[in-house]
Amino acid sequence: MDAPGSPAHHRPDEPEGETLPPQSLEDASLVLVPALAVDRSGTRLGRGGGWYDRALGYRSPGCPVLAVCWDWEVRALDADPLPREAHDLPVDGALTPGGIMLFD
């Protein structure tokens, strides 16, 4: 079995339990979203087909959004920029096993 944190380790499954509507984000004080990669401009690459971006429209103003990914999935600004489409909302930082990184 591959060790957690190794590139070969599988990502965790989606949480089980009750699925809340996106409007419940109005009460959140922090939102965590999965990411396959994120760059320091806040562009997040995911697999949700825009679902997370549409749901983030319900969060309260000023509620921070952090992308959850591995340390090596946070790209420097001078690396190849991630693609961003019109519907993509930027994240405020990343939560990795190495800690929290806030973007400017």
Dump pLDDT digits (tens) for 67-99: 999 999 999 877 778 988 888 899 999 999 999
pLDDT of residue 11: 65
Q: Which two tokens stand for residue 83?
A: 């693609």
Q: Which of 53, 47, 50, 93 is nearest to 74 (CA)?
A: 93
Q: Are 69 and 42 in contact (CB under 8 A)?
A: no
pLDDT of residue 97: 92
Question: Is residue 13 included in any domain, yes or no?
Answer: no
Question: Is residue 8 included in any domain, yes or no?
Answer: no
Question: Is residue 7 included in any domain, yes or no?
Answer: no
Residue numbers of the domain that contains 69: 29-102
> What pTM was estimated for this model as a whole?
0.82
Give the domain CATH number at 88: 3.40.50.10420
Percentage of residues in the chain having pLDDT higher than 90: 58
Question: Is residue 84 included in any domain, yes or no?
Answer: yes
pLDDT of residue 39: 94
Q: In what order do the strands lie in the sheet with 74-75?
A: 44-45, 37-39, 74-75
